[in-house]
Amino acid sequence: MNSTLKFALSSLAFGAITLGLIAQEPSLKIATVDMGKLLEGHYKTEEQMTKLRGDEQKAQEQLEQMVKERNQLVDQYKETQDQSKNTLLTADARSKAETDGQKLVEQIQQKNADLQNFSARTQQSLQTRLNNFRGLLLDEISKKVAEVAKRKGATMVVDTAGASGIGIASVVYADPGFDITNDVLTEINKDRPPPAPAAATAPAAGSMTPAAPAPTETPTVTVPGIAPKT
């Protein structure tokens, strides 16, 4: 067998081995998913947001009560200031009013500190609860994504919701035909409990249903220094 024939046979054998190895490797099939949409569309997110908003409203009401108490002290302080400058009062009365005013200043400063601490603790607590919830829910969603991806024969799933460090989307282009977001969304919400039936009350005959009161904006609580309330 001449050298040319040997070389040809060797090349064919090598090529066959290479093709065999390539055939053994699994083909890559990439699916895309929007994790942000899944997190927002999960029924548990709506439930958790309702709880957090309720607790936030309760905290806001507590803050408003604390502000009211602080402002009452401010009014008392203004009265003592007026009394301490009132020449119609005796010197002892003016001196007592000045002393009382100094005590009220300390109480007002303490109320301001309590307001700041309560507001900071409440915001931190709500943020921690939200972060913990999101972390646990994302783990749950990720498992559902893996289940759906395996059913569809995908070997890799890429999140299209993220962005790179320079603000560019991590996935520049993706064929929507390979997106499994809606499939996962259906999967994660299939166990959603049915809504509680609303209690309907019919108005009495001849009566008119009163119009709903106009919504009022919840005041924003600030922590000013010692100043009269506005």
Q: What is the pLDDT of residues 80-128, one digit of tens each?
A: 999 999 888 899 999 999 999 999 999 999 999 999 999 999 999 999 9
| Rounded Cα distance, 26 and 29, in Å | 9
Residue 67 has pLDDT above 70, yes or no: yes
Q: Which of 1-15, 82-96, 133-147, 168-182 has the lowest mean pLDDT?
A: 1-15
Tell the CATH superfamily of the 27-188 domain.
Skp domain (3.30.910.20)
* CA neighbor of 146 nearest in space, from 190, 180, 191: 180
201: its two tokens: 């009350």
Q: Which pLDDT score is estimated for 166?
A: 64
Positions of E strands within the chain: 30-33, 156-159
Domain boundaries, the chain: 27-188
